[in-house]
Structure 1
């Protein structure tokens, strides 16, 4: 079987993130393992805008767990700048990896 001729790769279109109802599930990037060790599945973290306009996860002690890199990161930042507040629930921990679900508070 041969491949199809012609056209190049067309990436899937990014879906628009809704500030009210949008939910993303994502692996945390740049994890601070020391902070991760203090948390369990089900814990809630704040979703904040950090330095360099990075989207970060912060616990109740003000410690940063890590960053969020996702297609909708810029959308969430725009929603936060518009007054929306988000939280991240820890879904899975396989240190040093951590998966969270981000949704509006």
Structure 2
């Protein structure tokens, strides 16, 4: 005999991403295997906005290792457009994918 409170279900709000302190750990999408093979755990990449608006990991040679698809991707893009720089550090490699930590850099 449960009663109704009259309210509908409200999903929890996504936490607001902070440009200065936000850190994300995620898997890289659309990995370029030939570029990944040149790198190791601990390597650090720049995060850049690609021509089509994707958030990409770029190495020091100007090659892209892959894309970042995360619930906070749009937030990070907005922060980059606002002048904040981000880095992505490889935490683990399990070819053909890798896990990275994204942070302000």
TM-score calculated relative to the size of structure 1: 0.89
In 1: Cα distance, 2:77 partner to 2:87 partner: 13
Write the distance in 2 (CA, Å) between the matches of 1:70 and 1:52. Answer: 17
Instruction: Give per-residue Cα distances to partners, 1:61-90, cap 9 Å, x unaligned.
Output: 000000000000000000000000000000
Pairing 1:61-72 to 2, within 5 Å after superposition: 61-72=61-72
The answer for unaligned runs of 5 or more in structure 1 is: 1-6
Q: Distance in 2 between matches of 1:48 and 1:94?
A: 23
Deviation for aligned residue 1:14: 1.2
Task: Please tell me the root mean square deviation across aligned C-alpha atoms, in Å.
Answer: 1.7
Give the secondary-structure state (helix, strand or coil) at the position aligned to 1:28: strand
**Tell me, what secondary structure is at the counterpart of 1:89?**
strand
Residue equivalent to 1:35: 35
SS at the partner of 1:35? helix
TM superposition shift of 1:13: 2.1
For the pair shown, which has the larger CA radius of gyration, 1 or 2?
2
What TM-score do you get using the length of structure 2 for normalisation? 0.89
The residue aligned with 1:80 is 80
* 1:24-61 C-alpha deviation (Å, 9 max, x unpaired): 00000000000000000000001000021100000000
In the other structure, the counterpart of 2:90 is: 90
2:26 paired residue number: 26
